[in-house]
């Protein structure tokens, strides 16, 4: 018996050969995040794809953005397939981008972005972008023509929103945003919800020994959910909008005013103020964003089935989305009810 075990051991150790896999290089493609929304100028963020096994280092973020496109156009046509109006998009300065979004990444937008600004209200009314129109995107990069199209659907508002104490959170200052929505029966709606905290107070993360409280608002919108109305068409129903997490499916809650003891002092945390972006989008865009939601929900699950995002970009990757959007500003105060829309500003579309 000992000889038999010894013989098997020799076989196992003698079969350990070094294996080198010659993995194919990822095809160099442009990754597009393009947006057009009623009343606002279109904007485009461009990056390059990376191979799955490509190294990630300190220079990855700065090197991934594309700033050398030959041209970007957004236009719409009439019933005879003739171009009615076309807009050339240009790269805006990084300091302006950082002032708008809090991040210095490059954004392409129209050069007449300031012409539709109402200086008395700081709101936009960009007539080029209207609900019900189909828009076309053309990008010339590396002698390649990348194209896409999208439609801005007519927005459908929520009936109302309200704030109530979270039933699942352990702390009594944690609250949920709930809403009532009546889905129109005569149209197919594809819904996308985003949110961001435009006010959120917390302890200084870098100096945990101090009692300093500061406003750490979200710089950009985060995705809450996206999907079709196929199961709720024509119905009125109650839902809620959880706070999106940095990684994974959104399940969080929001903070109302509360206090904590710090070094024998009482420090105050102001209420969160949340901006809800409730959108109608077309079906190709919905398939992309729904896939992104599913990927976030299965992140880190070793048994999850791999999922490729469905792109509507011809010759590239990513998405060109037309948003029929309605905004709501929700202060996190228990019992608060919101039944009127929020007049959004240019910073709110990012």
Question: Which residues, in sequence order, are CB contacts of 224 under 8 Å at separation 6+?
Answer: 193, 194, 195, 241, 242, 244, 250
**pLDDT digits over 233-254, tens only?**
889 999 999 998 776 678 899 9
pLDDT above 70 covers a percentage of the chain that reads 75
Mean pLDDT to the nearest integer, 130-138? 97
Which tens digits make up the pLDDT trace of 79-120?
A: 999 999 999 999 877 666 665 566 667 889 887 765 555 555
State the pairing for strand pair 123-124/117-118: antiparallel
Q: Encode pLDDT of 169-199 as tens digits.
A: 889 999 999 999 999 988 889 999 999 999 9
Does residue 200 have a pLDDT over 80? yes
DSSP result, 2-29: HHHHHHHHHHHHHT-------PPPPP--
Element (H, E) at 261: strand 258-262
Higher pLDDT, 266 or 273: 273
Tokens of 286: 């919905």
Beta strands 213-215 and 30-37: pairing type? unpaired
- Best CA proximity match to 211, nearest among 170, 259, 254: 259
Q: Whose CA is closest to 161, among 338, 340, 341?
A: 338
Please tell me the predicted confidence (pLDDT) of residue 299.
61
Using the predicted structure, report yes or no on whether residue 59 has a pLDDT greater than 60.
no
Q: Tens digit of pLDDT for each residue in 153-175?
A: 999 999 999 999 998 888 999 99
| Sign of the torsion angle spanned by Cα atoms 206, 209, 214, 216 | positive
The pLDDT tens digits of the residues spanning 3-18 come to 444 444 444 444 555 6
| CB within 8 Å of 18: residues ≥ 6 apart | none
pTM of the full predicted structure? Answer: 0.84
Cβ distance 29 to 316 under 8 Å? yes
CA distance readout (Å), 159 to 186, 208, 237, 342: 17, 42, 10, 14
- pLDDT band, residue 20 (cuts 50/70/90): low
C-alpha dist (Å) from residue 101 to 15, 61, 96, 336: 56, 16, 9, 28
Average pLDDT for 4-33: 59
**The Cα angle at residue 158 between residues 288 and 123, in degrees rounded to 5:** 80
Q: Regarding predicted confidence, which is higher, 220 or 151?
A: 151
Strand 71-77, strand 43-48: pairing: unpaired
Separation CA 236–CA 19 (nearest Å): 59
pLDDT-derived band of residue 30, with 50, 70 and 90 as boundaries? very high
CB-side exposure of 265: number of CA atoms within 13 Å? Answer: 7
Per-residue pLDDT averaged across 299-326, rounded? 81
């Amino acid at each position: 018996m000992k000889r038999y075990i010894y013989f098997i051991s020799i076989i196992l150790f003698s079969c350990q050969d070094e294996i080198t896999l010659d993995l194919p290089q990822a095809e160099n493609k442009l990754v597009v995040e393009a947006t057009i929304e009623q009343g606002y100028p279109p904007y485009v963020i461009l990056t390059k794809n990376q191979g799955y096994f490509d190294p990630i280092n300190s220079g990855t973020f700065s090197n991934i953005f594309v700033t050398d496109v030959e041209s970007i156009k957004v236009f719409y046509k009439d019933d005879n397939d003739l171009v009615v109006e076309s807009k050339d998009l240009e790269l805006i300065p990084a300091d302006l981008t950082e002032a708008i979004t809090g991040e210095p990444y490059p954004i392409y937008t129209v050069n007449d972005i300031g012409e539709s600004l109402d200086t008395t209200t700081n709101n936009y009314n960009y007539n080029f972008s209207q609900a019900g129109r189909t828009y076309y995107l053309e990008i010339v990069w590396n002698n390649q023509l990348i194209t896409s199209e999208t439609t801005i659907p007519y927005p459908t508002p929520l009936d109302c929103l309200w704030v109530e104490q979270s039933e699942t959170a352990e702390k009594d200052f944690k609250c949920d945003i709930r809403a009532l929505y009546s889905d129109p029966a005569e149209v197919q709606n594809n819904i996308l919800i985003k949110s961001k905290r435009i006010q959120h107070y917390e302890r200084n993360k870098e100096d945990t020994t101090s009692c300093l409280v500061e406003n750490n608002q979200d710089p950009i919108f985060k995705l809450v959910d996206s999907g079709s109305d196929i199961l709720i068409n024509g119905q009125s129903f109650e839902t809620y909008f959880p706070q999106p997490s940095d990684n994974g499916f959104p399940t969080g809650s929001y903070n109302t005013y509360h206090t904590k003891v710090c070094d024998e002092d009482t420090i105050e945390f102001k209420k969160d103020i949340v901006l809800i972006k409730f959108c109608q989008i077309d079906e190709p865009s919905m398939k992309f964003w729904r896939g992104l939601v599913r990927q976030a929900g299965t992140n880190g699950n070793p048994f999850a089935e791999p999922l490729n995002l469905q792109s509507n970009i011809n010759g590239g990757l990513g998405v060109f989305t037309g948003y029929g959007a309605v905004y709501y500003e929700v202060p996190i105060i228990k019992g608060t009810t919101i039944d009127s829309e929020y007049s959004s500003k240019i910073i709110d579309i990012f």
